[in-house]
């Protein structure tokens, strides 16, 4: 490769690493927090086995509220909370707070749909064999919806990669930040193109791995 | 795919021994209930399930819909009990009140003498472990292997791993799937899936097995093998089987008693040979119609209501049998009364040892018909009912 880089290669690596850190950590948080939310949404729904319209409505509104707020607004609006949680409003860790908070309800809704699609006959069979509520969640809902949940999580990760680019606005770094700082503000087309290529590769890779995993789960 | 009967009987008896052995000791409250009791001793009384004025209504936007309109019914312990009825008659609704997948709007359901309406959460789970259930679409967990599927009822009951291992192996041997432990349900045929369903339903050693159209998704041959398995389970393990089916042949083959539901009510109920031999309700007659040997079309077309004015003709007689008094079609005696007659059509089925069916005879016009009354009554009877269906010109032999 005889390409002369306009900025040190380190910059790219650092940006990639920052993006991976932001997406990875906030994705993990969204997964861990989103699944219980999704379960709550499903089991408290009118047809669910813990039907509780009130709780369902409260969680539903909360989830909708966060989903309705554009990420860029959330990013700014959450600054006080971010400060409280990580002590600063600047940097990778500061970006993770709004990223996780916006990705969680997004993923929760997707996972909710996945859980809802679990055949009612399976839930019934589980009840008939003497499964308690928690058993049904653990042995029926989660494993049966897993392929679909993983598919949804892949979508969430891709969405996070794109949101994380915006987090450059709070000086979080990452690929998006690099593209804006050099590519846009300094008219460095090379940086712009390279970052876009890296993002495409990243997204493709995430999607590929996600799809592969889903296929493996389904084809067992 | 067929399983040798000998092999299965063998594994069955092995399985029964397993049942009689020392109860598996489990620490959990639920586990104790499971294994300390053998099916025959838990439930006293002749009726394992009793319905008392069971009503089920579904509130709909258009008003309440009564799926069950006051069902009173007893299901004898140890029997194979069939539930039939047209689509929407309330069969599933009724069956599902037994393990309370469906809660009656009013009335009581007694299982083993206990009114299950009053059970709390914990007791309901215990009850359900005494009642296995299999489904039309099998409802196996796709993310679990065959072994894990069958193990699940035991696992959630807190049975120790080693015991689960042994029990599941026995169960899979019982249903003829000993080589499929680690297969996922997706890779099984319909019949094999239902066998897994049966193994799973039997895991907690239940007293009752509920089957909601368990063979409806299977081909005739597979249906036969599943029915054979159900029969073995009933006979050898003493498990009461309550089954819904749209296939009257299933009832005829394995059920002892049958209830006919019609629009949420009991149309009739009783021994299968009686109901099938002499259906009273219009719904039952409609359900049984496919089992009848209908008149072939060509014969139907040639049939006249009055004898032809001239020329030879045939008198078409129908002799019917409904199973009463062990009366059998005695060909020798039939031919004594109707000499030179030919058997045109018909058939006889045996239900619980009782001959059922009808025979169509063509009797030449030069033979005078005797008084049917004599031939259908007392110990001289040759059939339960005899009637002239009509007349056909010419002869059948000359064709
Ligand atoms: N959850 C429900 N809500 C409203 N109506 C219902 C519900 N479940 C059943 N029904 C109605 O109750 C009636 C009886 O239903 P059920 O499923 O017991 O019939 P079935 O005899 O099992 O019929 P099939 O042979 O088609 O399975 C039907 O008319 C059905 O539409
Ligand atoms: Mg039904």
Q: Name every chain A residue with its beta carbon within 8 A of the beta carbon of B157.
A: 130
B85 lines ligand 1 (CB under 6 A): yes
Calculate the alpha carbon distances from B83 to A198, B20, B73 in Å: 65, 31, 11
Q: Average pLDDT, stretch B327-354?
A: 87
Residues of chain A neighbouring B204 (CB-CB closer than 8 A): 129-130
| B135 beta partners | B212
Q: Among B152, B196, B204, pick the best mutation site for testing chain A contact (most A Cβ within 10 A).
A: B152
Beta strand segments in B181-301, E: 208-212, 240-244, 257-262, 265-271
Question: What are B273-319's pLDDT values in tens digits?
Answer: 999 988 999 999 999 987 777 778 888 888 888 888 888 888 999 99
Mutate which of B51, B56, B58 for ligand 1? The one with the most ligand atoms within 8 Å of its CB, which is B58
SS (H, E, C) A108-132: HHHHHHHHHCCCHHHHHHHHHCCCC
The pLDDT, as a whole number, for residue A146 is 96
Could you identify the residue written with the tokens 């700014």? A76
Q: Which residues of chain A have a pLDDT value below 70?
A: 1-3, 169-170
Strands (E), chain B: 47-60, 63-76, 80-85, 106-111, 114-115, 131-135, 208-212, 240-244, 257-262, 265-271, 313-322, 342-351, 354-364, 385-393
Nearest residue by C-alpha to atom 3 in ligand 1? B58
Q: Count residue pairs from A and B with Cβ separation < 8 A.
A: 68
- For ligand 1, whether the C-beta of B90 sits within 6 Å is yes
The pLDDT assigned to B34 comes to 36
Q: Ligand 1 test: best mutation among B51, B61, B64, B67, most atoms within 8 Å of CB?
A: B67
Tokens of B73: 């019914």
Q: Is the pLDDT at B235 greater than 80, yes or no?
A: yes
Q: What's the CA gap between B259 and B75, in Å, rounded?
A: 10
How far does A201 lie from chain B, in Å, by closest CA? 31
CA B222 to centroid of ligand 1, rounded, Å: 27
Average pLDDT over residues B321-334: 88
Q: Tokens in use for B135?
A: 């489904």
Residues B320, B386: Cα–Cα separation, whole Å: 6
Q: Using CA coordinates, name the residue in chain B closest to A136.
A: B156
Site from A123, A130, A139 to mutate, B interface, most B CB atoms within 10 angstroms: A130
Contact flag A129-B132 (C-beta cutoff 8 Å): yes
For residue B142, the chain A residues in CB contact (below 8 A) are 144
Give distance in angstroms: CA of B253 to centre of ligand 1.
Answer: 26
User: Is B96 a pocket residue for ligand 1 (Cβ < 6 Å)?
Assistant: no
Contact B142 A144 (CB under 8 A): yes
Supply the pLDDT for residue B397.
57
Taking only residues 130 to 189 of chain A, the set having a beta carbon closer than 8 angstroms to any beta carbon of chain B reads 130-132, 135, 139-140, 143-144, 146
Q: Is B264 in the pocket of ligand 1 (CB under 6 A)?
A: no
Helix (H, G, I), strand (E, B) or coil at B154: helix
Q: Is the pLDDT of residue B7 over 60?
A: no
Q: Which of B133, B156, B184 has its CB closest to that of A131?
A: B156
Whether A127 sits inside 8 A of B128 (CB atoms) is yes
Q: Is the pLDDT of residue B10 over 50?
A: no
pLDDT at A169: 60
| CB-based contact B186 A119, cutoff 8 Å | no
Q: What are phi and psi of B322, to 5 degrees?
A: -120, 10
B264 CA → ligand 1 middle, Å:
10
Tokens of B162: 């080693």
Are B251 and B258 within 8 A, CB to CB? Answer: yes
B145: helix, coil or strand? coil
Cβ within 8 Å, pair A144-B143: yes
> Given pLDDT bands bounded at 50, 70 and 90, which one contains residue B396?
low
Select from B208, B254, B261 the least CA-distant residue to B77: B208
Query: Residues of B with CB below 8 A from A144's CB?
Result: 141-143
| Structural contact between residues B57 and B66, judged by C-beta atoms closer than 8 angstroms | yes
Q: Which of B41, B38, B39 lies closest to B22 in space, CA to CA?
A: B38
**Tally of residues, chain A:** 220
Instruction: Supply angle C-alpha B29, B138, B108, rounded to 5.
Output: 55
- Are the CB atoms for B300 and B346 separated by under 8 Å? no
Q: Name the nearest CA neighbour of B198 among B265, B135, B124, B144.
A: B135
* Interval B138-180: pLDDT, tens: 999 999 999 999 999 999 999 999 999 999 999 999 999 999 9
Three-class secondary structure of residue A69 per DSSP? coil
Predicted pLDDT at B13: 38
Of A32, A38, A69, A68, the C-alpha closest to A56 is A38
* Residue-level pLDDT at B5: 33
β B80-85/B106-111 pair status: unpaired
On the question of pLDDT at B38 being above 60, the answer is no
Q: For residues B301 and B296, what is the distance between their CA atoms, to the nearest angstrom?
A: 9
Residue B399, pLDDT > 80, answer: no
List CB contacts of B264: < 8 A, sequence separation 6 or more.
B56, B66, B67, B68, B69, B71, B89, B90
pLDDT given for residue A2 in this prediction: 54
Of A122, A124, A130, which has the smallest distance from its Cβ to B153's Cβ? A130
Task: Give the number of residues written for chain B.
Answer: 399
Among B55, B61, B65, name the best residue to mutate to test ligand 1's pocket (greatest count of ligand atoms within 8 A of Cβ): B65
Sheet holding B265-271, edge to edge: B131-135, B208-212, B240-244, B80-85, B257-262, B265-271
The pTM of the full predicted model, rounded to 2 decimals, is 0.84
């Amino acid at each position: 490769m005889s390409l002369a880089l306009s900025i040190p290669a380190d910059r790219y690596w650092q940006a990639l690493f920052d993006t991976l850190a932001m997406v990875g950590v906030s994705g993990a948080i969204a997964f861990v927090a989103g699944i219980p939310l999704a379960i709550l949404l499903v089991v408290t729904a009118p047809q669910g086995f813990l039907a509780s319209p009130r709780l369902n409505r409260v969680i539903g509104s909360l989830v909708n509220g966060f989903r309705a707020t554009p990420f860029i607004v959330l990013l700014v609006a959450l600054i006080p909370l971010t400060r409280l949680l990580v002590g600063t409003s600047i940097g990778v860790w500061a970006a993770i707070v709004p990223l996780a908070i916006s990705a969680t309800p997004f993923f929760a809704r997707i996972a909710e749909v996945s859980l809802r699609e679990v055949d009612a006959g399976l839930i019934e069979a589980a009840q008939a064999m003497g499964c308690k509520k928690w058993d049904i969640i653990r042995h029926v809902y989660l494993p049966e919806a897993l392929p679909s949940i993983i598919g949804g999580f892949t979508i969430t990760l891709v969405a996070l990669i794109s949101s994380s680019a915006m987090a450059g606005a709070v000086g979080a770094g990452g690929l998006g930040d690099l593209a804006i700082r050099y590519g846009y503000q300094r008219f460095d087309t090379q940086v712009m193109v390279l970052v876009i290529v890296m993002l495409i590769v990243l997204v493709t890779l995430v999607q590929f791995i996600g799809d592969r995993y889903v296929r493996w789960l389904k084809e067992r | 795919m067929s399983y040798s009967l000998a092999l299965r009987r063998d594994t069955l008896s092995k399985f029964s021994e397993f049942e009689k052995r020392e109860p598996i000791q489990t620490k959990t409250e639920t586990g104790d209930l499971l294994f300390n009791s053998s099916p025959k001793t838990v439930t006293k009384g002749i009726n394992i399930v009793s319905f008392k004025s069971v009503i089920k209504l579904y509130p709909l936007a258009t008003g309440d819909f009564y799926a069950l309109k006051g069902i009173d019914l007893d299901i004898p312990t140890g029997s194979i009990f069939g539930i039939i009825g047209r689509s929407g008659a309330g069969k599933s609704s009724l069956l599902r009140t037994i393990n309370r997948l469906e809660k009656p709007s009013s009335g009581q359901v007694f299982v083993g003498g206990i009114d299950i309406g009053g059970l709390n959460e914990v007791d309901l789970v215990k009850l359900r472990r005494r009642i296995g259930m299999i489904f039309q679409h099998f409802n196996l967990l796709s993310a679990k292997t065959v072994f894990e599927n069958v193990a699940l009822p035991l696992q959630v009951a807190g049975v120790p791993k080693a015991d689960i291992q042994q029990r599941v192996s026995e169960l899979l041997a019982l249903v003829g799937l000993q080589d499929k432990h680690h297969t996922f349900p997706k890779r099984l045929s319909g019949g094999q899936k239902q066998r897994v369903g049966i193994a799973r339903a039997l895991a907690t050693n239940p007293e009752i097995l509920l089957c909601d159209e368990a063979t409806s998704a299977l081909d005739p041959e597979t249906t036969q093998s599943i029915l054979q398995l159900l029969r073995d389970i009933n006979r050898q393990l003493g498990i009461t089987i309550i089954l819904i089916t749209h296939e009257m042949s299933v009832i005829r083959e394995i059920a002892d008693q049958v209830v006919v539901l019609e629009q949420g009510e009991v149309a009739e109920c009783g021994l299968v040979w009686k109901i099938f031999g002499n259906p009273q309700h219009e719904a039952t007659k409609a359900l049984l119609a496919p089992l009848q040997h209908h008149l072939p079309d060509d014969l139907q077309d040639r049939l006249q209501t009055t004898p032809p004015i001239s020329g030879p003709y045939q008198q078409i007689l129908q002799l019917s049998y409904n199973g009463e008094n062990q009366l059998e079609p005695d060909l020798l005696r039939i031919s004594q009364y109707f000499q030179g007659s030919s058997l045109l059509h018909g058939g006889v089925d045996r239900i619980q040892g009782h001959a059922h069916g009808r025979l169509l005879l063509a009797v030449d016009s030069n033979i005078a018909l005797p008084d049917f009354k004599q031939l259908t009554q007392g110990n001289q009877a040759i059939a339960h009912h005899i009637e002239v269906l009509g007349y056909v010109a010419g002869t059948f032999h000359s064709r």
